[in-house]
């Protein structure tokens, strides 16, 4: 098989059969779900979902903590011929209402408290089922559905990701996208059946969901965890004998500052990072804290899942590198005309191959902006993701991040749209205009600063309270500054560059 041929894939729900029948697949508390139980539970949940949500192609959303139900949903929805829409539990009612309306979800599975947060904003065509009812179907006596025979290009999921120009957009993922992503990560991380993976990242993120899928592809066990403090992570590693941990830079900062018993830290064999770059000093701290662990820095984007990883053997000498393409990905560095750059020449990262998503749900315009024909030099051809990120390639074919073209704020491992923060602030009715931007922060990666032009006197407490009610915690500004006037460019638009530069200069004085 040549590189230009897409590798074979299977329907994503077949992952429930990748491990030994009696081997553990899911560890929650003191309960272990074997692969045999996983497959049977997926089948029964799939049958229930088909009855609750309707025929093939309907969208079913889940808005829950990391329960057994949440972990089975990606496979069960796919087995039922449905399209899964996982929703970040940290989101508030307005964001979830947008996702439900935009996806056209026929069914939302959640608990009563979250359903109440939606209120009248829930779309009329979206039914709500209590998560306890859905979970009960997993253990029912009903007959489950057999593994699906979905085609590789059939849609399996829509994952919503923030965009720099406004509300989240849904990235359409096929069975092949998910299957090959699982195979890719399992292979380059060298996950084995005796490994234990701690799932601390949200399952609504491609990075978090892949913790389930790549672990099961390898026939290993995953222990999902909703943690409140870093100490919860330390305890979970010890309890489940965890060998593999994925995180984002702010979490690693907290973990290396935590008290790790030597015998617990020694359990970890591999640490993976995405959602922001690791600094050399943080890498040094991770190596000191977890002496037996290989470190895998990674770069990805939801539109193509994951693009690059840095092999552990290069981390010490090339700590700022993004590495090279992961299996099943072709990564090119291109000039604006699509030609390939020379070594050390900066260009746009273009991702080609079977991990490229199917575009944005119900959004042809934005799809056309990001998903374009692959450069002529591509061995895969077809559609590629033009990332908008500027990178360079050295003589050893290692890639290095140079800059990001859009205005996204990467904070605490989350991609935050400044427009979404600004729109929420303006909706308060307390201000006329707002500009949000990120500034470097040692713990968060970037902290959100919000500059506003108010209506009359400053009403900081009221605006802060409104934002807390209408935006998730990771979107909350760390600083709000009130101005009487805001600079504008010659076109009469707010001069964002000048506003952010002025704030930074003011802090430096």
The token pair at 174 is 């096929």
304 falls within a domain: no
Using DSSP bridges, classify how beta strands 399-404 and 321-325 pair: parallel, antiparallel or unpaired. Answer: antiparallel
Max mean pLDDT among 264-273, 484-493, 496-505 falls in 264-273
Instruction: From residue 397, give the alpha-carbon distance in Å to each of 69, 280, 330, 393, 452.
Output: 42, 20, 13, 5, 45
Query: Which residue, chain included where needed, has tokens 């779309």?
Result: 123
Is 405's pLDDT higher than 70? no
Tens of pLDDT, residue by residue over 331-374, are: 999 999 999 999 999 999 999 999 999 999 999 999 999 999 99
Whole-model pTM? 0.86
Q: How far is CA 394 from the centre of its chain?
A: 28
| Amino acid 406: pLDDT | 65
Cα–Cα dist 343/334, whole Å: 11
Is 59 within a domain? yes
Q: Provide CB contacts within 8 A for 370, sequence distance 6+.
A: 303, 360, 385, 386, 388
CATH number for position 457: 3.30.300.30
175 and 14 Cβ atoms separated by less than 8 Å: no
Residue range(s) defining the domain that contains residue 438: 409-508
What is the tally of structural domains in the chain?
A: 2
pLDDT-based confidence at 415, cuts 50/70/90?
confident
pLDDT by residue (tens digit) across 240-272?
999 999 998 888 989 999 999 999 999 999 999
The C-alpha atoms of residue 382 and residue 350 are separated, in whole angstroms, by: 12
Note the pLDDT of residue 423: 83
In a domain, 351, yes or no: no
Contact present, 392 and 400 (Cβ < 8 Å): yes
Whether 192 is covered by a domain: the verdict is yes
Length, in residues, of the chain: 509
Asked if 121 and 100 touch (Cβ cutoff 8 Å), the reply is no
Residue-level pLDDT at 334: 97
3-state secondary structure 72-117: HHHHHHHHCCCEEEECCCCCCHHHHHHHHHHHCCCEEEECHHHHHH
In a domain, 463, yes or no: yes
pLDDT of residue 495: 82
Q: Domain containing 204 — which CATH number? A: 3.40.50.980
DSSP string, 142-190: SPPPPPP---TTSEEEEEEEEETTEEEEEEEEEHHHHHHHHHHHHHHHT
Check residue 351 and give its pLDDT: 98
pLDDT of residue 286: 96
Phi, psi of 262 (to 5 degrees): -55, -40
Q: What are the tokens at 102?
A: 């935009």
Using pLDDT thresholds of 50, 70 and 90, give the confidence band for residue 163. low
Find the mean pLDDT for residues 39-45: 98
pLDDT, residue 447, reads 94
Select from 188, 216, 244 the last residue of a domain: 216
User: What is the Cα–Cα distance from 441 to 456, expressed in whole angstroms?
Assistant: 31
Backbone angles phi, psi at 367, to 5 degrees: -60, -45
| Window from 46-50, 165-169, 494-498 with minimum mean pLDDT | 165-169
Which of 6-15, 139-148, 192-201, 420-429 has the least mean pLDDT?
420-429
Q: 58-97 pLDDT, tens per residue?
A: 999 999 999 999 999 999 999 999 999 999 998 989 899 9
pLDDT reported for residue 5: 77
| Inside any domain, residue 365 | no
Beta bridge mates, 448: 438
CB 220 within 8 A of CB 20: no
Q: How far is CA 112 from CA 53, 89, 116, 118, 474, in A?
A: 19, 13, 6, 10, 23
d(C-alpha 449, C-alpha 432), whole Å: 17
pLDDT in tens, 130-142: 999 999 999 999 8
Of 394-398, 412-416, 464-468, 479-483, give the lowest mean pLDDT range. Answer: 412-416
Cβ neighbours for 353, distance < 8 A, ≥ 6 positions apart: 6, 328, 329, 330, 380
Confidence of residue 403 (pLDDT cuts 50, 70, 90): confident
Residues in contact with 505: Cβ distance below 8 Å, sequence separation at least 6, in sequence order = none
Residue 226 lies in a domain: no
Longest alpha-carbon distance in the chain: 69
User: What is the C-alpha to C-alpha distance for residues 26 and 40, in angstroms, rounded to an integer?
Assistant: 13
How do strand 308-309 and strand 294-299 relate by DSSP bridges? antiparallel
Distance CA 45, CA 219 (A): 21
Kindly calculate the radius of gyration of the chain based on its CA atoms and give it in whole angstroms: 23
For 265-312, how does the pLDDT look when each residue is reduced to its tens digit (9 = 90+)?
999 999 999 987 888 889 999 999 999 999 999 999 899 999 999 999
d(C-alpha 106, C-alpha 158), whole Å: 14
Give the orientation angle of helix 206-217 with respect to helix 68-79, to 10 degrees.
Answer: 80
Average pLDDT, the chain: 93
pLDDT band at 1 (very low <50, low <70, confident <90, very high): very low
User: What's the sign of the alpha-carbon dihedral 145, 147, 149, 150?
Assistant: positive
Last residue of some domain: 189, 216, 243? 216
Whether the pLDDT of residue 119 is over 90: the answer is no
Percent of the chain with pLDDT over 70: 96
Residue 2 has pLDDT above 50, yes or no: no
- pLDDT given at position 345: 95
**Residue at which a domain ends, from 216, 233, 252:** 216
Is residue 492 predicted with pLDDT exceeding 70?
A: no
Instruction: Note whether residue 221 is domain-resident.
Output: no
* Parallel, antiparallel or unpaired: strands 399-404 and 383-393: antiparallel
């Amino acid at each position: 098989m040549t590189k230009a041929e897409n590798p074979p894939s299977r329907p994503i729900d077949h992952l429930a059969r990748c491990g030994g029948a009696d081997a553990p697949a899911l560890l929650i508390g003191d309960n272990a779900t074997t692969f045999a139980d996983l497959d049977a539970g997926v089948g029964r949940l799939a049958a229930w979902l088909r009855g609750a949500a309707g025929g093939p192609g309907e969208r079913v959303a889940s808005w829950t903590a990391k329960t057994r139900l949440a972990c089975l949903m990606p496979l069960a929805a796919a087995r039922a011929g449905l399209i899964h829409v996982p929703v970040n539990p940290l989101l508030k009612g307005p964001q979830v209402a947008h996702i439900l309306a935009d996806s056209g979800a026929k069914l939302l599975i959640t608990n009563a408290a979250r359903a109440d947060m939606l209120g009248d904003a829930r779309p009329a065509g979206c039914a709500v089922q209590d998560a306890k009812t859905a979970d009960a179907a997993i253990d029912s006596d009903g007959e489950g559905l057999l593994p699906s025979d979905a085609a590789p290009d059939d849609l399996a999921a829509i994952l919503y990701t923030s965009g720099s120009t406004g509300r989240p957009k849904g990235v359409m993922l096929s069975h092949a996208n998910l299957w090959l992503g699982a195979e890719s990560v399992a292979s380059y991380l060298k996950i084995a059946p005796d490994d234990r993976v701690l799932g601390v990242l949200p399952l609504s993120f491609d990075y978090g969901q892949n913790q389930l899928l790549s672990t099961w592809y390898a026939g290993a066990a995953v222990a999902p965890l909703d943690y409140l403090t870093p100490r919860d992570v330390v305890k979970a590693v010890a309890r489940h004998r965890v060998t593999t941990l994925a995180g984002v830079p702010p979490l690693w900062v907290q973990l290396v500052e935590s008290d790790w018993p030597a015998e617990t830290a020694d359990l970890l064999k591999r640490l993976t990072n995405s959602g922001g770059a690791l600094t050399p000093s943080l890498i040094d701290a991770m190596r000191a804290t977890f002496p037996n662990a290989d470190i895998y820095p990674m770069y990805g984007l939801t539109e193509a899942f994951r693009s690059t990883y840095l092999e552990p053997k290069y981390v010490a000498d090339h700590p700022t590198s993004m590495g090279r393409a992961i299996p099943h990905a072709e990564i090119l560095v291109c000039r604006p005309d699509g030609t390939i750059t020379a070594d050390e020449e900066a260009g746009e990262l273009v991702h080609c191959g079977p991990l490229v998503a199917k575009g944005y749900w119900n959004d042809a315009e934005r799809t056309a902006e990001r998903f374009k024909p692959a450069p002529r030099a591509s061995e895969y051809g077809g559609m590629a993701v033009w990332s908008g990120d500027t990178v360079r390639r050295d003589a050893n074919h290692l890639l290095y991040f140079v800059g990001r073209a859009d205005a996204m704020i990467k904070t605490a491992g989350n991609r935050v749209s400044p427009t979404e923060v600004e729109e929420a602030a303006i909706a308060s009715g307390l201000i006329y205009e707002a500009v949000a931007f990120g500034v470097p922060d040692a713990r968060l990666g970037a902290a959100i600063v919000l500059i506003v032009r108010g209506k009359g006197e400053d009403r900081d407490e009221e605006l802060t309270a409104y934002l807390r009610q209408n935006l998730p915690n990771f979107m909350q500004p760390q600083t709000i500054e009130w101005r009487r006037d805001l600079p504008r460019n010659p076109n009469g638009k707010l001069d964002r560059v000048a506003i952010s530069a002025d704030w930074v200069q003011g802090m430096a004085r």
